[in-house]
Amino acid sequence: MGKNYLLSFAVTVFALTLMLSSCVSRQYVERGSFALEVSRGEAATSQTEAILRIRTLRVSPRYEGKRFVYRGESLSYETDFYNEFLTSPDTMITEEVRQWLADSGLFGHVVDFSGQVDPTHILEGTVTDLYGDFSERTQPRAALQMEFYLSEDIAGRSKSVFKNRYRKEVRISRDSPEELIQGWNKALALILTDFEGDLKQIDLKPGE
């Protein structure tokens, strides 16, 4: 009986050793957190008294989570368990838009919705697409689509001033999270450049 016990014990130890060895040798996949960051360059000097308040942008429910979303073949979508945004896309993109427009010189002040100052204009927006497009494996792209709605707000009366939709798809060299975040950064910068150019064609002088 003692021999059987020793044999059983030896077999158990051997099995546990193999299991632990397998776990140790298994490659550890590190999770990554990434932030969207764009830069307009040198800030322009403002010559207007217009005050812009930006409401937190809405993000389509499909992309409102922190995990990266990928579009595959046959219009299938999946989320990435290992790579995600540092913060939620709505607050992160709203801050990038706010900083860009603050540096544009188109408004005397640009504040978020918690600001105490009374605005002359209010900006709302929606992120309708935010995904890595890998439906064509040889041509991966970073896709971003946004809609902006600008209204004038004088004495509590709101009047629509401008609205438009912008879409950019930026080719990336390979399907990695680092390349994808850079693609999104470029797409966001291109959209904001176009948006700023459109705003320059509008009379943003505060109405009476």
Domain that holds residue 80: 35-199
How far is the C-alpha of 15 from the C-alpha of 70, rounded, in Å? 40
Instruction: For residue 119, tell me if it sits in a domain.
Output: yes
CATH number at 51 reads 3.40.50.10610
Instruction: For residue 126, tell me if it sits in a domain.
Output: yes
Look up residue 182 and give its two tokens. 């850079």
How far is the C-alpha of 105 from the C-alpha of 43, rounded, in Å? 7
Tell me the residue length of the chain.
Answer: 208
Task: Answer yes or no: pTM beyond 0.75.
Answer: yes
Question: If we measure between CA atoms, which residue out of 169, 147, 183 comes closest to residue 58?
Answer: 147
CB-based burial, 135-153: b 16+ in 10 Å, e otherwise: eeeeebbbbbbbbbebbbb
| pLDDT tens digit sequence for 73-122 | 888 999 999 999 999 999 999 999 999 999 999 999 999 877 678 899 99
Instruction: For residue 98, tell me if it sits in a domain.
Output: yes
Instruction: For residue 12, tell me if it sits in a domain.
Output: no
Instruction: For residue 10, tell me if it sits in a domain.
Output: no
| pLDDT tens digit sequence for 122-162 | 999 999 999 999 998 889 999 999 999 999 987 667 889 99
Total domain count, the chain: 1
How far is the C-alpha of 132 from the C-alpha of 140, rounded, in Å? 7
Instruction: For residue 3, tell me if it sits in a domain.
Output: no
Instruction: For residue 132, tell me if it sits in a domain.
Output: yes
Look up residue 72 and give its two tokens. 């595959």
Q: Other CB atoms closer than 10 Å to residue 68's CB: what's the count? A: 23
Instruction: For residue 172, tell me if it sits in a domain.
Output: yes
Between residues 129 and 14, the one the model is more confident about:
129
